[in-house]
């Protein structure tokens, strides 16, 4: 796995951005409104070699990949380049595949030939104007090259400049000549059949998929620029004496958009990567990428326009250009809801032709045996290294043996999402310490391998909440603890001997952990602790509590905190069970004159906030992706068993769940990949957690709605659809946007640390 661009791709990106800054600024975009085509920009891009960069060098192309072109197209989208760059590139590639290399070479030399992603001649993007010499269109069961005569195809007036035209295909075409102008055009349009029957359908399907994936990259660039415009305005515009970017409501909307854009970028790049390498994802990802990028681009432009207030609606402000273009481009392939049906076709099989689970790319990690045999490519690489895949396979086999139905049922019945038998078996196998260096008894596994293990645990339904918390604290002690703590506590955690719970939240503090009121007062070599903690999950199974206390009331609240790791058998600690709506057991813990030796203090006195920040780096990840995949499986199994798999409303919901899962997966792997390079993915991990848990809740809400009234039947009811697991998931997932930092806290982190917005005001 490698998510960096190559040096050559970065040079291409920078060169494209530089050219567009000169030739496709807001004024040039406005000037191109009338015709929808900027000839000066087109000629410059042709000279740069962009339309033909993926063609063979023998016919004047650059021999580059679709992924390379996608990097440049992100910049074209950002600049709203008013030329049919995607349509021409796709047409040229199709012509080469059809044996018409000479005609493709003409595109490399500057001739404008475009391709339509839709069947028929309706509204072909980029087909209008005197420079256009042809359009590839699927006409019935034939793929034809339509060529205008002396009179060019007239442009259709649209919401945004795209030089679209109705390409007349004659009486046999999908769109006959119904008015005088169309009759004239039809009479002068020549059509050449390039393929027919199945060959035509296959050729057009690949053409359309390349268009979707490349257009997704273009839309990601538009979304990023729209977001940038919103951030810039929010930073500069002042109301009530402060920048509006300090208003929490705006920060949160922009943080959501930023997270969406990063997810869409990863999906679009993976779609192009898959097409380049003939990967299994090439079947579904172009449809996923286009549906997602279209929605994200429209949302990004809409939110940014809203941030601009009334000014965003004025034509002199640039954001309205992005708003109009986002919607226009999204509609070029038809109804966006039909796009979702297309995603369902690719992910679950066409109506009446269900796809086997092991053939789908959205029901969990793919078997490496399904991938074509090839050498690793330079630059973007979404395949996991072979050692990671081998480790995943070992972990999956181990979990299949130990995560029995009884283990899952016991966790569900008791609400204790921990099993000592499984926990100790994992310790004996070395899984708990797998990511630790050899001097700690670990295996030195990489961050990628550990992310694979986490995925497999959650995909299996393993009750491992305690494991995550214990290793989180152990990692924090490794960074912030004393030598005694490292030697005394960490080995016991890694050997599976002890568990650790978190003592952060309080009744009157909630997410404001700095409002901690539990007091720790020094008494010689000991501290006396008094207070109360909420949501100390697994306190009844733990040997230690990672306890945040107030040690100084004379300074700012976040500066007067101190952290301890306190043995749970210390006199004065009391545990009271609390049962949640989701079926889990958590606890209230009480501390009544609890005497804690100073050796259990973690970090400096009044330095607890720093320790907390270290712990948060290890807490936020997208582990819930595995649970979301299990939810999708339950929904899909029910749709098949109930005979509703062909219901468009059900397919749309399943498609949305699949798209969200893929975003969660890629954002999680991005954070893991960054960690594997030695970086601390604070903002990236925060985005992964935000996107995953918010999507998880939406998907559960969607899928329980599919069940209707029967959806309220619980697990254990013989008549409960999906054995009640969708209902159980719906209740459980509500807490995921709270644990590990509420979504609001995460949005604040993304806004301030990721987007550079001013410190928030309520």
Query: What phi and psi values does residue 433 have, to the nearest 5 degrees?
Result: -95, 10
- Count of CB atoms situated within 10 Å of the CB of 21: 12
Q: What is the Cα–Cα distance from 511 to 533, expressed in whole angstroms?
A: 13
CB 749 within 8 A of CB 687: no
Q: What is the Cα–Cα distance from 352 to 646, expressed in whole angstroms?
A: 7
The count of C-alpha atoms lying within 13 angstroms of the C-alpha of 619, restricted to the half-sphere facing its C-beta, is: 20
Owner of token pair 């699949």: 658
H/E run at residue 184: helix 180-188
Q: What is the Cα–Cα distance from 558 to 673, expressed in whole angstroms?
A: 31
- List, in order, residues 6 or more apart from 701 with CB less than 8 Å away: 730
Q: Structure tokens of 748?
A: 């604040």
Q: Which of 619, 627, 652, 662 is catalytic?
A: 619
Q: Structure tokens of 749?
A: 């982190």
**DSSP 8-state secondary structure symbol assigned to residue 761:** B
Q: Structure tokens of 394?
A: 């070992």
Q: What is the Cα–Cα distance from 588 to 289, expressed in whole angstroms?
A: 45
Q: Classify 436 as helix, strand or coil.
A: coil
CB 191 within 8 A of CB 134: no
Q: What is the Cα–Cα distance from 463 to 466, expressed in whole angstroms?
A: 8
H/E run at residue 133: strand 132-139
The count of C-alpha atoms lying within 13 angstroms of the C-alpha of 431, restricted to the half-sphere facing its C-beta, is: 24
Give DSSP secondary structure letters for 399-432: HHHHS-HHHHHHHHHH---B-HHHHHHHHHHT-T
Q: What is the Cα–Cα distance from 593 to 606, expressed in whole angstroms?
A: 20
**DSSP 8-state secondary structure symbol assigned to residue 528:** E
CA distance to 326, 532, 552, 606, 611, per residue, from 555 (Å):
50, 22, 7, 10, 18
Q: What is the Cα–Cα distance from 38 to 161, expressed in whole angstroms?
A: 10
Beta strands in 152-204 (DSSP E): 190-196
Q: Is 455 left (phi over 0), alpha (psi -120 to 50) or beta?
A: alpha
- List, in order, residues 6 or more apart from 97 with CB less than 8 Å away: 203, 206
Among 62, 69, 51, 48, smallest CA distance to 379 is for 69
Q: What is the Cα–Cα distance from 712 to 85, expressed in whole angstroms?
A: 51
Owner of token pair 């390039």: 194
Query: What phi and psi values does residue 452 have, to the nearest 5 degrees?
Result: -65, -40
619 is an active site residue = yes
Q: What is the Cα–Cα distance from 108 to 81, expressed in whole angstroms?
A: 18
Q: What is the Cα–Cα distance from 279 to 133, expressed in whole angstroms?
A: 34
CB 454 within 8 A of CB 621: yes
Catalytic residues, by residue number, are 619
């Amino acid at each position: 796995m490698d998510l960096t661009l190559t040096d050559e791709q970065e040079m291409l990106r920078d060169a494209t951005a530089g050219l567009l800054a000169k030739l496709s600024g807001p004024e040039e975009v406005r000037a191109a409104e009338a015709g929808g085509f900027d000839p000066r920009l087109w000629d410059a891009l042709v000279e740069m070699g962009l339309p033909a960069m993926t063609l063979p060098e023998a016919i004047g192309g650059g021999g580059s990949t679709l992924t390379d072109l996608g990097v440049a197209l992100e910049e074209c989208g950002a600049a709203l380049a008013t030329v049919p760059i995607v349509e021409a590139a796709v047409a040229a590639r199709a012509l080469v595949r059809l044996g018409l290399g000479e005609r493709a070479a003409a595109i490399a030399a500057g001739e404008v030939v475009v391709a339509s992603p839709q069947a028929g001649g309706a509204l072909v993007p980029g087909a209008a104007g005197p420079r256009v010499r042809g359009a590839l269109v699927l006409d019935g069961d034939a793929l034809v090259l339509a060529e205008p005569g002396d009179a060019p195809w007239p442009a259709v007036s649209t919401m945004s400049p795209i030089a679209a035209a109705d390409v007349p295909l004659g009486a046999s075409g999908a769109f006959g000549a119904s008015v005088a102008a169309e009759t004239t055009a039809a009479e002068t349009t020549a059509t050449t059949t390039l393929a027919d029957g199945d060959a035509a359908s296959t050729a057009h399907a690949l053409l359309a998929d390349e268009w979707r994936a490349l257009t997704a990259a273009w839309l990601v660039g538009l979304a990023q620029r729209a977001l940038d415009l919103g951030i810039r305005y929010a930073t500069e515009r002042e109301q009530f004496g402060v920048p509006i970017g300090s208003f929490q409501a705006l920060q949160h909307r922009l943080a959501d958009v930023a997270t969406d854009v990063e997810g869409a970028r990863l999906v679009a790049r993976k779609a192009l990567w898959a097409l380049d390498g003939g990967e299994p994802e090439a079947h579904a990802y172009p449809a996923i990428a286009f549906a997602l990028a279209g929605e994200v681009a429209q949302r990004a432009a809409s939110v940014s326009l809203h941030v601009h207030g009334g000014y965003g609606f004025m034509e002199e402000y640039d954001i309205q250009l992005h708003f109009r273009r986002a919607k226009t481009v999204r509609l070029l392939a038809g109804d966006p809801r039909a796009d979702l049906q297309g995603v369902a076709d690719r992910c679950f099989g066409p109506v009446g032709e269900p796809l086997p689970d092991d053939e789908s790319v959205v029901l969990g990690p793919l078997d490496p045996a399904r991938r074509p045999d090839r050498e690793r490519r330079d630059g973007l690489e979404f395949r996991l290294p072979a050692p990671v895949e081998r480790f995943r396979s070992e972990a999956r086999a181990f979990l299949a043996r130990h995560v029995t139905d009884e283990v899952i049922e016991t966790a569900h019945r008791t609400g204790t999402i921990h099993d000592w038998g499984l926990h100790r078996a994992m310790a004996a196998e070395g899984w708990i310490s797998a990511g630790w260096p050899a001097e700690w008894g670990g295996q030195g596994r990489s961050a990628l391998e550990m992310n694979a293990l986490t995925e497999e645990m959650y995909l299996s339904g393993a009750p491992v909440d305690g494991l995550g918390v214990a290793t989180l604290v152990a990692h924090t002690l490794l960074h912030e603890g004393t030598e005694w703590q490292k030697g005394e506590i960490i080995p016991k955690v890694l050997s599976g001997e002890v568990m650790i719970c978190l003592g952060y939240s309080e009744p009157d503090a909630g997410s404001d952990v700095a409002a901690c009121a539990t007091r720790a007062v020094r008494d010689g070599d000991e501290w006396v602790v008094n207070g109360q903690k909420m949501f100390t999950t697994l306190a009844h199974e733990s040997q230690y509590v990672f306890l945040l206390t107030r040690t100084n009331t004379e300074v700012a609240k976040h500066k007067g905190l101190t952290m301890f790791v306190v043995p749970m058998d210390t006199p004065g600690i009391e545990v009271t069970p609390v049962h949640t709506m989701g079926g889990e057991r958590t606890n209230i813990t009480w501390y009544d004159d609890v005497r804690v030796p100073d050796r259990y203090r973690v970090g400096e006195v009044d330095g607890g906030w720093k320790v907390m920040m270290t712990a948060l780096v290890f807490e936020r990840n997208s582990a819930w992706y595995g649970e979301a995949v299990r939810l999708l499986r339950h929904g899909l199994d029910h749709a098949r068993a109930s005979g509703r798999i062909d219901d468009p409303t059900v397919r749309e919901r399943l498609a949305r769940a699949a798209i969200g899962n893929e975003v969660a997966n890629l954002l999680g792997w991005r954070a893991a990949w960054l960690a594997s390079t030695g970086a601390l993915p604070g903002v990236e991990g925060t985005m992964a957690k935000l996107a995953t848990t918010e999507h998880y809740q939406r998907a559960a809400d969607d899928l329980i709605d599919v069940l209707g009234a029967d959806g309220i039947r619980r697990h254990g009811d013989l008549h409960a659809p999906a054995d009640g697991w969708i209902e159980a998931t719906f209740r459980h997932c509500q807490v995921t946007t709270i644990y590990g930092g509420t979504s609001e806290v995460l949005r604040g982190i993304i806004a301030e640390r990721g987007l550079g917005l001013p410190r928030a005001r309520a």
